[in-house]
Structure 1
């Protein structure tokens, strides 16, 4: 990933800009989408949630670059940002510890059977559970990032 997708904070100085994403070929019965961005290599014992976005309308097939910034109002109507592991709603860019090696950033799109009903302040774990419980299909891309 380029530096523009690196987090701004925690010792990182990137642009914290979410990448542009597009998809097609949703299965029949798709009622909504969810996007989960996760770093399994984070030295936490449980990885790191960089972005969880649920209830993307089924009629949508892309997210513009920078859509993960809640202040820009670029998300499709009805989409809901879940608080990431930085403690903010929206996209939180890559920020692996210096010298920790290459980290994998997994962008997984889920086609859901329906829009999700989640309580205010839902945790990443609860969100993940609900997404997987209503998943019809998934597509995943993986980006790599390292700070030396």
Structure 2
């Protein structure tokens, strides 16, 4: 009997960038990923003869995706070389089962503050302009030998 997946874990999650060949490749190993959605905003539209408040869904928010990654000069340089505040870039989060979230946006990376007894982290924030769920990322990823 095939094994049923009950849930996924963080093991194997990738943050990827689109390369010149229109395929996604790993950008940097991340230590945290953002929520990729949320509850919709509401607009109250209660009519005076209604016994209950009435609502309709508002426009969806354009999200900001924030990631953390370990601070090394190589990691920071790789992210800074790709991310842009003015030119939208394409990214892909790949989950353990091969599904993912593809998104486009502008953003920046920075070195987070240090404190005693902790490893250094960097932040990456992307102001997302488009996003979509990808059921199977295999065909859009760079294949490794």
TM bracket, shorter-chain basis: under 0.3
Superposition TM-score, scaled by structure 2 size: 0.26
Give the structure with the higher percent strand: 2
TM-score, length of structure 1 as denominator length: 0.25
State which structure, 1 or 2, has the greater radius of gyration over its C-alpha atoms. 2
